[in-house]
Amino acid sequence: MMEPDRVRALIEAGLPDCTAVVEDNAGDKEHFKAEVVSSAFEGLSLVKQHQLVYTALGNHMAGDIHALALKTYTPTRWAQRGPSGA
């Protein structure tokens, strides 16, 4: 089991120019929702962006983290997402 702050710290440490917002959306310290913004995502497909996040989390994805609902953004896309967050 992991705290959301630990998940956030791992993601931010593993990606350059990164900001992550992580929530424990089931209250069990195993199911998380994350929004991640990083310049490392520029020019990459969504699959490649998600793979970068999974790499930053390392073995935790195979043990401590049961599920991760993930949204990734480049800094430009984050700024353009509008007031609804979409």
Q: Where are the domains of the chain?
A: 4-75
Find the helix or strand (DSSP H, E) in which 68 lies. Answer: strand 67-73
Find the helix or strand (DSSP H, E) in which 37 lies. Answer: strand 31-38
Indicate the average pLDDT of the chain: 93
Predicted TM-score (pTM) of the model is 0.90
Q: What is the pLDDT of residue 49?
A: 98
Q: Strand 31-38's sheet: what is its strand order?
A: 18-24, 31-38, 67-73
Q: What is the pLDDT of residue 84?
A: 60
Q: What is the pLDDT of residue 1?
A: 86
Nearest-Å Rg of the Cα atoms of the chain is: 12
pLDDT digits (tens, 9 = 90+) for 62-86: 889 999 999 999 999 999 986 665 5
Superfamily for domain range 4-75: BolA-like (3.30.300.90)
